[in-house]
Amino acid sequence: MMDEQQFANVDQLFAPMKRRHKTATLPVSGNAVRIQSLTEREVSAFQSATIAANGTGLKKSRLEDANRRLIVLCLVDGAGNRILNDSHIAKLADWDGADTAFLYNECIGHVGLKTEDIEGLVKNSEGTTVVD
């Protein structure tokens, strides 16, 4: 007799999303932070923010701050409320690079992206106009 596997139905697939969270401790500052998962809509908006409005290139300034933009999207307090906003993107540039690199990698993994996804975005846009 074969095992019958249960598959999700439409209602289960579209049930309200429950955010996932994880805690990470920054290697240099020692601060503990809470990272939240993102929806597909949020991930797509993060990725597309790097593309020029005319669709023919990358926004150099947005590519330069992509790591920090993802950190801003992911850090939350104990109640799940974002603790950073766009005004913090520039301030994160003054953090120790080891902390931001560590946190970016933690965020990428938690939201389901891979560094290859971001590198692929850049590679696929090579030869196109970089727009600021």
- Asked if residues 64 and 70 have their Cβ atoms less than 8 Å apart, the reply is no
pLDDT in tens, the chain (132 residues): 556 789 999 999 999 989 999 999 999 999 999 999 999 999 989 888 776 566 556 666 666 788 999 999 999 999 999 999 999 999 999 999 999 999 999 999 999 988 766 655 555 555 554 555
Dist. CA 114–CA 75, nearest whole Å: 18
In a domain, 6, yes or no: no
User: What CATH number does the domain containing 79 carry?
Assistant: 3.30.2220.20
In a domain, 1, yes or no: no
In a domain, 32, yes or no: yes
Dist. CA 16–CA 14, nearest whole Å: 6
